[in-house]
Amino acid sequence: MRMLRRLVIVAVALVVASSSQVGAVNVAQRCEEPIASSQSGRAVLTPGVNKASLVQHIGVKVSLFHCLPANTTRGSGALTATITTGAQTCRLFTASTVLKTSAKITWKNSRTSTLAAVFSLTGSSHLVNVKAKVTSGVFLGHSAVGQFRYTLVVSPSSSFGHTNGVAQACANKVRPNKFGRIAIKVIDVHTTKPFVLS
């Protein structure tokens, strides 16, 4: 009986170890940082979002740190993308919005991964869920997922009392290059879930 029990324990341990190894093999790269309390990136909106419905050009750059295994990438990289939207108002940030674009990761060792990416904004919770597929470069054919939280930054950065100025921007109809314009021009980004290629 003792021998049978030992054999069962050994068999279970082998199954667990095998499952762990399979999971590890499936993960091509896992970037754990920057931590949520640190800003990991920024998106710049041109001409900026307010109540006037306008096409937006969004330049995104997000840092990816503590990426493992590091032998393929040297442990870090930068995710960049340029997104052109349809005409947008502040509904871009208050309603669920899906933005599709090409993105690129430039790794620390200068290798690159090009991705077909989908950025899904969740609305008032201010989260961005990223799903992507590597279409060329290192990790070709792998899928990628990540999640970020964002904070809206209003320009001009005048004092809005105890508010961040977002409500004032979203009520402002002044168009670009006109006096009195207030708009959301920047999105500060924080990592909430690891960026994983598998």
Q: DSSP of 56-82, one letter per residue?
A: EEEEEEEEEEEEESTTTTTT-EEEEEE
User: What separation, in Å, do the N-terminal and C-terminal C-alpha atoms of the chain show?
Assistant: 43
Q: List, for residues 105-156, the tens digit of each pLDDT value.
A: 999 999 999 999 999 999 989 999 999 999 999 999 999 999 999 999 999 9
How much is the mean pLDDT over the chain? 88
**Long-range contact set of residues 6-9: C-beta below 8 Å, sequence gap at least 24:** none
Q: List, for residues 18-58, the tens digit of each pLDDT value.
A: 343 434 448 999 999 998 888 999 999 999 999 999 999 99
Assess whether pLDDT exceeds 50 at residue 159: yes
Identify the H or E element spanning 115.
strand 112-121
